[in-house]
Amino acid sequence: MSDVPPSGPLYVTRPDLPSLDEFIPYLREIWRSKILTNGGPFHQKFEEELSKYLGVRYIALFTNATIGLVTALQALRITGEVITTPYSFVATAHSLIWNGIKPVFVDVDPVTFNLDPAKIEAAITPQTTAIMPVHCYGHPCDVDRIQAIADTYGLKVIYDAAHAFGVKCHCGSVLTHGDLSVLSFHATKVFTTFEGGAIICGNDKIRQRINYLKNFGFADEVTVVAPGINGKMSEFNAALGLLQLKGVDRALARRQAIDARYRTLLAQVRGLRCLLPTGETVSNHAYFPILVQPDYPLSRDDLYDKFRGRNVLVRRYFYPLISEFPMYRGLPSAASSNLPNASRLSRQVLCLPIYPALTDDEVDRVVDILLTE
């Protein structure tokens, strides 16, 4: 199921990638054109096809989602304080620090694992300029309540949508909510371009500013209009994205089947709880988290060691909390007493393997490990 030794480095494997034979024609075309980056034909085609597939107006491709988050904050000229979640990958808060912004952590909802809208207003100060929620595990935030709060207090909303490729909520693509949404195409994600990401926006003026910022601020060959960065996606990554789009629906369908099999097999297991599906949501089944509760025979960490000892790669997403890392734990909002739900979840969650090439027999093997003492 994984060739990663329990004590070895954490490599990322993708057994579901397209074959090399499928990719070779794309490489030949890149060699023929001699265009490797800077918005070449594959980049342009990928933006066009991806916009259609996701049902969004504008997409700006990036070399990775972290640079996308950094740039999104710059594009909206966010300063001061931003309310965000401690229950996420560190890039969420790192993007704020890179922009000189103070993260203010708010607890998560214990059922959805997303930023709890009921806790946001109490964290707003005169320095607050934005909210940065995360669609955790691809499950949509309460976008309507968050937007209502933002509108009341005049705040921007930037969604870290790293997990939310293809996810739909009650009104269509979840990516259309907020001022901007940022996708990840990292190797661990549902849809990958090896490394990559994108900013989703509905405003042509902001999109133009984003495109300036991701290319050093160049407006033309001799004009620099902003202190930008090199965030451009290469032709190689864009070509892989185009190829991946051809099979993404099959991949999502297989993920759905694996998710359903896990839920059926685990339904009666004492001490384990699955994250509940959200009504009116089209999920991408990006992750399969389980909560290891006190009445399970093993602790979460003992269960983690058991899986790794049997060469099955499970992950403790997200542990430790962002707020527990040295660069954040001194913040007043990082106190564990302020974040009881996130603190508890981070010590109970274990994400089981889920990817399109996973077989039913391998799913059964994972469940057998959970069932055996």
pLDDT of residue 196: 98
Per residue in 216-244, pLDDT (tens digit) is 999 999 999 999 999 999 999 999 999 99
By CB neighbour count within 10 A (0-12 exposed, 13-18 middle, 19+ buried), where does 158 fall? buried
pLDDT at 268: 86
| Residue-level pLDDT at 8 | 40
pLDDT number for residue 17? 75
Report whether 292 contacts 300 (CB < 8 A).
yes
Residue 1 clears pLDDT 50, i.e. is over it: yes
Residue 140 sits at the vertex; the CA angle it makes with 151 and 18, to the nearest 5 degrees, is: 130
* Average pLDDT taken over every residue of the chain: 94
pLDDT tens track for 120-138: 999 999 999 999 999 999 9
Q: Across the chain, which distance is largest between two alpha carbons, in Å?
A: 67
> Which residue, chain included where needed, has tokens 């972290």?
66
pLDDT for 6 equals 37
pLDDT in tens, 250-294: 999 999 999 999 999 999 899 999 998 776 788 999 999 999 999
Q: What is the mean pLDDT of residues 3-7?
A: 38
CA–CA separation, 334 and 314 (whole Å)? 27
pLDDT of residue 13: 63
Q: Give the DSSP letter string of 253-277.
A: HHHHHHHHHHHHHHTT-TTEEEPPP
pLDDT of residue 3: 37
User: Band of the pLDDT at 66, cuts 50, 70, 90?
Assistant: very high
3-state secondary structure of 91: helix
pLDDT of residue 277: 77
- Position 309 pLDDT exceeds 60: yes
Read off the pLDDT of each residue in 158-171 and give the average, rounded to a whole number.
Answer: 96
Domains of the chain: 20-243 (3.40.640.10), 249-371 (3.90.1150.10)
